[in-house]
Amino acid sequence: MYGFEALTFNIHGGYLEAIVRGHRAGLLTTADYNNLCQCENLDDIKMHLSATKYGSYLQNEPSPLHTTTIVEKCTLKLVDDYKHMLCQATEPMSTFLEYIRYGHMIDNVVLIVTGTLHERDVQELLEKCHPLGMFDSIATLAVAQNMRELYRLVLVDTPLAPYFSECLTSEDLDDMNIEIMRNTLYKAYLEDFYKFCQKLGGATSEIMSDLLAFEADRRAVNITINSIGTELTREDRKKLYSNFGLLYPYGHEELAICEDIDQVRGVMEKYPPYQAIFSKMSYGESQMLDKAFYEEEVRRLCLAFEQQFHYAVFFAYMRLREQEIRNLMWISECVAQNQKSRIHDSVVYMF
Amino acid sequence: MSGAAAIHASSWAAALVRISPYTFSAIGIAISIGVSVLGAAWGIYITGSSLIGAAIEAPRITSKNLISVIFCEAVAIYGVIVAIILQTKLESVPSSKMYDPESLRAGYAIFASGIIVGFANLVCGLCVGIIGSSCALSDAQNSTLFVKILVIEIFGSALGLFGVIVGIIMSAQATWPTK
């Protein structure tokens, strides 16, 4: 019952909610980012990070560091936090936490299939997969020739199986089809997650609906922009948009017929939350769009912590950590390549 | 004329006044302690689970935030005190006077007193527990917030005190008929 969750939430969720809020206190602040941006090389970065929660993960790394090592170890911290929370959780929180992984599973599946298409070694691809999205038999994906085989050999035993019903064709896997497959899977996953949160009710469903709707709308805009000028037909493009969100259904109809970025801007400016995002960019500029979307996402995720006694804090924490890892990767790359003037192009500050 | 009082139009009323006033008194005393302890326990687990989790990353909050648990515990103590006071109000009356209006009044007064205290302490315990949970989490993030949220908790625990005061006043005039 909305409003009375405070009475019973702490029975199963009180301890974990307190833990996740403790983790949130360990996220890097603007002051930390400023320190990192002043670094001259990767060893400086390692030294600054040793004062944060990442310290124990980076301290044993030998001196010539690579940026990929930094990112890998920071991701390991995220995975450890997640696994600790997952093993302590009961239903329905454990199902909620599992849903957070499915997005990474989809990314890993697409990574391996694309890599196999381009004749890469399976072991090399497995190392690049995100650890949260690993499942048994993921290596068998390299054997499949088309989507039906993909499903029958590997994915039918994974939690992604129900998302495949729209994807089962016998076409061979090529770059275009793989992108379509990725977006179709992700669409099914977002709708499933959305329905699950609606069933949970209360503050969880209210906050998660807002966060997932933003995610769906952002993906719709990205799909539109990325498919301008490709052979993707309007009907196919419309099929990739999710069935919820602020843009559903009228915004989707208008987005499906867009042919360039200014038309997309015209469609989005009809919706006040997105008009604020697009107004930050001048005409014809699309590189800042990603950063503007990330900033808006971070703002909404931080707001999720304002309420107590709901599950959306877990989702928000995972997403904020991922954003932080992206920030660290960008900063490390800029420092390693001596391009510190470009650091502020892509770092999203949280608090 | 005490027998004439038993003739009423509806049979429910007749049945009600034939229930012994001691039944009502005993139930009142049971509710005063039982439901108060329910409220206190509920509040303590709400606070305690958040406190334990938050103390992992911020161990400094443990000693100060035990105050929230103590406020919840006070609610249970109110219930015990009022139950003890109420049971001292019970006196035997001879069976000829057991259904006298005065006797019934004394029984109802103790029953009402028990309900007042029990339910006031139930909601007070819940209130203090939920605020205590938020207090622990906020203190872990920013230690200047602790005292401010404690003030809210103090106002919350005053609710239990109101219940105790009214309960004691009610039970003070629970006088059984003299022999």
Model ipTM? 0.87
Is B62's Cβ below 8 Å from some Cβ in A? Answer: no
Distance CA B154, CA B71 (A): 8
Is B101's Cβ below 8 Å from some Cβ in A? Answer: no
Q: Which amino acid is at A25?
A: A
Is B59's Cβ below 8 Å from some Cβ in A? Answer: no
Is B141's Cβ below 8 Å from some Cβ in A? Answer: yes
Nearest to A10 among B56, B57, B133 (CB): B133
pLDDT confidence of residue B2: 47
Q: What percent of the residues of chain B are helix, what percent strand, and what percent coil, each to the nearest 5?
A: 80, 0, 20
Distance CA B5, CA B16 (A): 12
Is B111's Cβ below 8 Å from some Cβ in A? Answer: no
Mutation for B interface: A8, A15, A350, most B CBs within 10 A: A15
A242 CB-near residues (< 8 Å, 6+ apart): A187, A190, A191, A194, A216, A219, A220, A248
Q: How many residue pairs from chains A and B have C-beta atoms closer than 8 A?
A: 62
Distance CA B118, CA A17 (A): 31
Cβ pair A15:B49 closer than 8 A: yes
Nearest to A14 among B53, B126, B141 (CB): B53
pLDDT in tens, chain B (179 residues): 444 455 556 788 888 888 999 999 999 999 999 999 999 999 999 999 999 999 999 999 999 999 999 999 999 999 999 999 999 999 899 989 888 999 999 999 999 999 999 999 999 999 999 999 999 999 999 999 999 999 999 999 999 999 999 999 999 988 999 87
Q: Which residues of B touch A314 (CB under 8 A)?
A: none
Q: Which residues pair with A172 in a beta bridge?
A: A146
Q: With CA atoms as reference, report the closest residue to A289 among A213, A217, A183.
A: A217
